[in-house]
Amino acid sequence: MHHPPALLRSLAEKVGTPYWLYDARVIRQRIADIQFLTNTDGVQARFAMKACPATKVLREMHAAGIWIDAVSGNEVLRALHAGHPGGHTPPVICLTADVFRDNALDVIREHGVLPNIGSPGQIADLVRAGYRGPISLRVNPGFGHGHVNSCDTGGPSSKHGIWHDDLLATKDAAARAGLAVTMLHAHIGSGPQFAELHENLTRLAADFVALLPHFPDLAAVSLGGGIPHNYKDHGAQVPMEPLHELFDTCHRRLCSAARRELRVEIEPGRYYVAPGCTLVTRVTDVKQTRTNEKGSGATFAMVDAGFVDLVRPAMYGSYHAIDIVGRDDEDPNMAREPIVIAGPLCESGDIFTRDDRELLAPRMLPRPVAGDLLTLRDAGAYGYAMSSNYNSIGRAPQLWLEEDGRVEMISRRETVEDLLKAETSQFL
């Protein structure tokens, strides 16, 4: 999404740089896509809120009838704060975790949230915590993958879920503990191309069909998240119609095998929000290194955003479209050169243009000058959500552009007081 340069500059004047700019229209369009995918009776969408837990976004999901997949006690509390109801009928909030930490068990018990466990020993954790409600089991079905290897969510190298061979033993442990398994869940990752995604989801639904006789209390199966967003080519997004048909078919197959109504769930995260936010930063300088016996020289555009803001490129070489604000990126006659975009952190890996082997991947861009604004697009998923306070910089403000053109600040820039807030001097 390209925003008018005048808007980006005036916002930079008002709140400084860097800042995040959400676009309500784009997020609502993505919500509408998911509503289209799930507009069959018995198919329900959740939002994997870890992708973008801002209250504003959670409220949009609530208004659209989308349920929540949370991954921590505090995420559940944030969902409740945004208006999503607790309780099991229906289980609007589900808490998916391989490890319960901090307040997770208390929140599950107190708010009647459906625990979706990814490790067999968590049955004992739930029992110890006095939980006596329904549970969901997250399965590692042995296949599927993420958009990069480190995001692999299915297969022997994945830490997620209960290995499929151990599932029935875990079900028996749940039965001994008096916990009814009401949902089976698997998340097979958002990496595959459409054909592979389709094949994997079909295979997963067949695996669930085979498991049905062992789970008499089952009310739902979740096919997880992982609807891909194409960061490089906006024109090449997943086709919605065949995916809609697939979920409808999975639902019919599961219900007919079970001979009763079962709910099919999906829980995308990135798809809803990825294209709906731009990180806007300012170029502070352009400098050069020169070729020597160690390697080739490069041109570095230094910007005031870093991996404390958007960590995906530094963490796993993710690609984000980059534009110099005010230069027409569609003009074929515009002179371009390979440019590395680097941030302010005291870390040599603070680079936005790198590949998944941690090598510099300079981008062909018009040469910016100090003072230019630069945008990193498609930053709505795992963007602000993964930002940190490393180097004590404080998180940048989040702005929300409404469809009528109004811009609302939904979180302010963090100050040193925010950073010091949790510090204490307490002897134990």
Considering only the stretches 241-249, 269-277, 307-315, 403-411, report the one whose residues sit in contact with ligand PLP under the rule CB under 6 A.
269-277
Q: What residue type is assigned to position 142 of the chain?
A: G
Please report, for residues 150, 206, 312, 315, 397, the alpha-carbon distance to residue 318 in angstroms, rounded to integers and kept in the order given: 12, 32, 5, 8, 22
Check residue 387 for interaction with ligand PLP (CB under 6 A): no
Residues 89-128: x/- map of binding to ligand PLP (CB under 6 A)? -------x--------------------------------
First-residue to last-residue Cα distance in the chain: 52
Question: Is 151 annotated as catalytic?
Answer: no
Check residue 380 for interaction with ligand PLP (CB under 6 A): no
Check residue 221 for interaction with ligand PLP (CB under 6 A): no
Among 53, 224, 313, 362, binds ligand PLP (CB under 6 A): 224
Separation of alpha carbons 140 and 127, rounded Å = 23
Q: What is the DSSP string of 178-217?
A: T--EEEEE----S-S-HHHHHHHHHHHHHHHHHHGGG-TT
Check residue 207 for interaction with ligand PLP (CB under 6 A): no
Check residue 269 for interaction with ligand PLP (CB under 6 A): yes
Helix 240-258 crosses helix 194-211 at what angle (to 10 degrees)? 10
Among 119, 153, 375, 398, binds ligand PLP (CB under 6 A): 153
CB closer to ligand PLP, 223 vs 303: 223
CA angle 113, 115, 119 (to 5 degrees): 165
The candidate with the shortest Cα–Cα distance to 42, out of 195, 171, 219, 205, is 219
Q: How far is the CB of 125 from ligand PLP (least distance, A)?
A: 18
Q: What residue type is assigned to position 188 of the chain?
A: I
Q: How far is the CB of 23 from ligand PLP (least distance, A)?
A: 18
Check residue 38 for interaction with ligand PLP (CB under 6 A): no
Q: H-helix or E-strand containing 322?
A: strand 322-324
The candidate with the shortest Cα–Cα distance to 152, out of 117, 188, 101, 121, is 188
Check residue 201 for interaction with ligand PLP (CB under 6 A): no
Check residue 187 for interaction with ligand PLP (CB under 6 A): yes
Number of residues that bind ligand PLP (CB under 6 A): 17
* Residue 313, token pair as written in the block: 């490129």
Q: What is the DSSP string of 330-369?
A: T-TTS--EEEEEE-SSS-TT-BSSB-TTS-B--EEEPPP-
Residues 226-245: x/- map of binding to ligand PLP (CB under 6 A)? xx------------------
Among 248, 267, 323, 378, binds ligand PLP (CB under 6 A): 267
Considering only the stretches 4-12, 56-64, 266-274, 350-358, report the one whose residues sit in contact with ligand PLP under the rule CB under 6 A.
266-274
Q: Give the residues lining the site for ligand PLP (CB under 6 A).
A: 48, 51, 69, 96, 153, 187, 190, 224-227, 267-271, 381
Active site residues: 346
